[in-house]
Amino acid sequence: MSDENTINIKLEEKSSDFPKSIIDENGEEIKIEYEKSVKPKREEWSNRFEFILCCIGTAVGLGNVWRFPYLCYKNGGGAFLIPYTITLCFIGLPLFFMELALGQFASQGAIGIWSISPMFKGIGYGMTMVSGLVCIYYNIIIAQCLFYFGVSFTSLLPWSNCNNSWNNRTLCYDGTDNSTQLSGKISPSEEYYEKHFLNMSDGIEDMGWPQWRLLVSLVIAWCIVIVILLKGIKYMGKVSYFTALFPYIILTILLIRGLVLPGSLNGILYYIRPDFKYLRNPRVWVEAATQIFFSLSVCNGNLITMSSYNKFTNNCLRDAVLVAVINCATSVYGGLVIFSNMGFMAFAKNVSMTDVVKGGPGLAFKVYPEALTKMPLSPLWSVLFFLMMIILGIGSQIALVETVLAGLQDELVRAKKLVTSNQKILYRLVMCLILFVLGVPMTCRGGMYVLEIFDGAVSGSPMLILALVEVLVVSYCYGIERFRMDIKLMIGYKPNKFWKYSWMIISPFLIFILIIGLTVLSILKKSTFPIGFVILQIVLSLLPIFFVISIFAFVYCKKGGWLLFSELKKPLHHWGPAHDEHKQNFYSSIQDESKTNSNFFQSKESILKKFHRRLSQSENDKNRINSSQEMEMEKLINDFAVTHSVNELPKF
């Protein structure tokens, strides 16, 4: 038990070299008692390669296979690569690098990282909300792939003909007769997907009950995710060897198979043939930019979370460029696989490419399965295709869920609500159960319409707005030079001026233009949903932005308002590297840069001086503020100084 003349200090490691007492200004001896700190050490990747594989698994997902090829096809073929590459270089890559650097520097998740500027902590909650919304419906798609994977273990694929009990013999057309009247006809694969598997209703108003096939598949999908996440980050790293590399093996097998089929060359030419007139259409540029956001997984907290488990000295710049290039190359490669098979399908059905090409789930569960039925050994190719889809989906899903879990877990640990390992396991199980329950409505007959609402909500402006606020806060509130110095502490050199001006000027300007363009396109687009569900989609899309605005307003109103506005933009005093050895270098760099800490971490005394200086600027202000009000405001600043300032920079 310590008395008034004893100081308790917690350290990560004790040492006999530390002083046992000090003499205060009155000449009295004050004893010092040292305790070992119980601060939990954050897990780290076993090696750099596992981190890169996890980033690839996170970024390379289902969209690389079913979204990018379709966008490329409908937006000018090879010409689409021009806006895609430009937005990659000046928006996607700078944001990708920024988020890797932030997470690695502070070893914090998507929420905790915003102690860099406490007024904007809502950005972290907004990112977590985006990941939460996506992972709810993303696992529905994985569940569908699991079901198709299971039913592919047969001698004859169930969607290969019109002779099944669920087929409408009048409308079903499998190409075995000589009919030329195809208007109103439906393929066996489409009928199997919509009428047998999903039992889809005619509209969202008719939701119906959960369909047992999809519900059971969803349970299995969540069990896979939970098992991986409960094992910890090192196990995720081991799983990434399979989830990141095996899809490339399957893609290559499917590409080789597709290239030897008749008509495949026509399909590939249809995919890559450039039509430069499309570059005059603003929609093409907007779709290229939004695809970059989804493809690279920026602004949903995934990259910040994954990089927070890195070693402090990892070269995150090299990793950012490497992963971004691999991801975009995979998108192009996946397009070759898809369109070589689409060309064969058009040849087999004797129709044009425009009659067979679709994007999104329609490609994965209607068009491509139909193409598989035209091949010899079709069940084998179906098993490989859906196995690849499952692996791609799981790789992205575990990153999405980990972002949600780690972000909130960091906050609970900081508040000492989660201490023991059992508490953390229970927390993760409960959170996954909640996410599963939220996804159950999407297993109903009208569930795909709900999925479409969720997808539309997060694929609009929210991620672009979060990106704009993020890059502005880091560049101007925290300071671009300070940020470049932080990166130098990690990788040994400051990023060049391309990165500096991209973060400060080019990226914010282009993102702002894209927000305007996407908003205009959204207004012009006519929704097929009833007005109530349109409002629901708008509310979901505004939720991430609501967190940014509400937390900004709360901090502004409750912690000093305009009086302390300039201080609230600055980092909390615990901002910085997690380990003492790196913190020492961090604080030394601050002192070397400014020779004072007053322009970075504000000292309590400097904040009080600023308060009194502002208070005395006007005689009217002095007359309007009585002594009790002044005491209240001084108490506010004292409370503020506890978390937002330090009396002096720590000595090591």
Q: pLDDT band at residue 557, thresholds of 50, 70 and 90?
A: confident
Instruction: Out of 393-397, 431-435, 572-576, 591-595, pick the least confident.
Output: 591-595
- Name the token pair of 25: 């200004």
Sign of CA dihedral 407, 410, 411, 412: positive
For residue range 203-214, what is the model confidence (pLDDT) as tens digits?
Answer: 888 888 999 999
Interior angle at CA 190, CA 185 and CA 195, nearest 5 = 100
pLDDT of the residue at 651 = 42
Same domain, 493 and 628: no
Considering the domain boundaries, does residue 41 fall inside one?
no
Same domain, 389 and 469: yes
Distance CA 411, CA 358 (A): 43
Considering the domain boundaries, does residue 498 fall inside one?
yes
Domain that holds residue 11: 6-36
Burial per residue of 66-81, b for 16 or more beta-carbon CB atoms within 10 angstroms, e otherwise: bbbbbbbbebbbebbb
Describe the strand order of the beta sheet including 21-23 as a list of residue ranges.
Answer: 6-11, 29-36, 21-23
Cα–Cα distance list, 328 to 111, 231, 324, 386 (Å): 28, 30, 6, 21
**Full-model pTM:** 0.82
What does 567-630 look like in DSSP terms, one character per residue? HHTSPPTT-S-SSHHHHHHHHHHHHHHHSSSTTSSBPHHHHHHHHHHHHTS-HHHHHHS-HHHH
Q: Which residue has the higher pLDDT, 476 or 418?
A: 476
pLDDT of 626 above 60 = no
What is the rounded average pLDDT of the residues 98-113?
91
pLDDT of 637 above 70 = no
Q: Does residue 59 have a known ligand-binding role?
A: yes
Same domain, 488 and 623: no
Considering the domain boundaries, does residue 651 fall inside one?
no
pLDDT of 613 above 70 = no
Domain count along the chain: 3
What is the rounded average pLDDT of the residues 177-181?
52
Q: pLDDT band at residue 598, thresholds of 50, 70 and 90?
A: very low
Same domain, 266 and 148: yes
pLDDT of 32 above 80 = no
pLDDT of 356 above 80 = no
Same domain, 577 and 496: no
Q: Are 397 and 142 in contact (CB under 8 A)?
A: yes
Q: Does residue 64 have a known ligand-binding role?
A: yes
CATH of the domain at 519: 1.20.1740.10
Interior angle at CA 328, CA 391 and CA 378, nearest 5 = 40
Same domain, 317 and 244: yes
Closest residue by Cα to residue 38 from 64, 13, 4, 68: 13
What does 468-507 look like in DSSP terms, one character per residue? HHHHHIIIIIIIHHHHHHHHHHHHSS---HHHHHIIIIIH
Same domain, 23 and 161: no
Q: pLDDT band at residue 99, thresholds of 50, 70 and 90?
A: very high
Q: Are 65 and 247 in contact (CB under 8 A)?
A: no
| Domain final residue, candidates 533, 551, 569 | 551
Considering the domain boundaries, does residue 545 fall inside one?
yes
Helix (H, G, I), strand (E, B) or coil at 11: strand
Same domain, 598 and 539: no
Same domain, 492 and 514: yes
pLDDT of 597 above 50 = no
Considering the domain boundaries, does residue 427 fall inside one?
yes
For residue range 308-346, what is the model confidence (pLDDT) as tens digits?
Answer: 888 999 999 999 999 999 988 888 898 888 888 888 888
Q: Does residue 335 have a known ligand-binding role?
A: no
What does the mean pLDDT of the chain come to?
Answer: 80
What is the rounded average pLDDT of the residues 70-83?
85
Instruction: Out of 101-115, 131-145, 573-587, pick the least confident.
Output: 573-587
Same domain, 171 and 69: yes
Considering the domain boundaries, does residue 191 fall inside one?
yes
Q: pLDDT band at residue 37, thresholds of 50, 70 and 90?
A: very low
Considering the domain boundaries, does residue 610 fall inside one?
yes
Q: Does residue 327 have a known ligand-binding role?
A: yes
For residue range 107-140, what is the model confidence (pLDDT) as tens digits?
Answer: 888 888 988 888 899 999 999 999 999 999 999 9
Q: Does residue 422 have a known ligand-binding role?
A: no
Same domain, 439 and 568: no
For residue range 543-553, what is the model confidence (pLDDT) as tens digits?
Answer: 999 999 998 88
| Domain final residue, candidates 551, 573, 600 | 551
Q: Are 644 and 572 in contact (CB under 8 A)?
A: yes
Same domain, 541 and 565: no
What is the rounded average pLDDT of the residues 344-365?
75
pLDDT of 6 above 60 = no
Q: Cβ atoms within 10 A of the Cβ of 12, count?
A: 11
| Domain final residue, candidates 551, 570, 603 | 551
Identify the residue whose tokens are 């479409």.
452
For residue range 387-441, what is the model confidence (pLDDT) as tens digits?
Answer: 999 998 998 899 899 899 988 887 887 777 766 778 888 989 999 999 999 999 9
Q: Does residue 396 have a known ligand-binding role?
A: yes
Q: pLDDT band at residue 608, thresholds of 50, 70 and 90?
A: low
